[in-house]
Amino acid sequence: MTKNSLKIVIDSNICTGCRVCELICAFVHTGSFSVENSRIHVEKDEFNGKDIPFLCLQCNEKYCISSCPTNALTVSDETGAVLVDENLCIGCGVCMKVCPYNGIKIHKRNKKALICDLCDGEPECVKRCPVGALSIQRI
């Protein structure tokens, strides 16, 4: 872990399920508002009546990196975020399967891993969340 490691903290108790985070993430990374391009996804917990955002939590173990058969995943020296080298990613989904936090998905069309890159230390989802359900923390 770098001295500048960051992570996004989620308060699912105040998330309203508006999905602004998904839209802004997709737009920042691809210039479109297609949520299939988002590195954060919101799921409805019907049992508890909550909307819960899921994204890479920048965990200590980083099972995704150790399990990647092509070494397509690395850690940013600047932010500590897991980064995807799309030239090496084969879309096998192993990283998604080993993630204990449901924070990785495989893009439906290009079959590459979608993992939060923390927007180079300035996560737009955090800035744009209208209720403050997302915050940034140094770890």
How many structural domains is the chain composed of?
Answer: 1
Give the CATH number for residue 44: 3.30.70.20
Residue 130 lies in a domain: yes
H-run or E-run covering 135: strand 134-138
Q: Which of 61, 59, 26 lies closest to 40, judged by CA?
A: 26
Domain range for 51: 6-138
Contact 9, 138 (CB under 8 A): no
Model pTM score: 0.92
Q: Is residue 1 part of a domain?
A: no
From residue 102, give the alpha-carbon distance in Å to each of 4, 122, 139. 24, 22, 20
Report pLDDT digits (tens) over 48-78: 989 999 999 999 999 999 999 999 999 999 9
d(CA 117, CA 123): 8
Tens digits of residue pLDDT in 79-124: 999 999 999 999 999 999 999 999 999 999 999 999 999 999 999 9
The rounded distance, in Å, linking the Cα atoms of 65 and 104 is 12
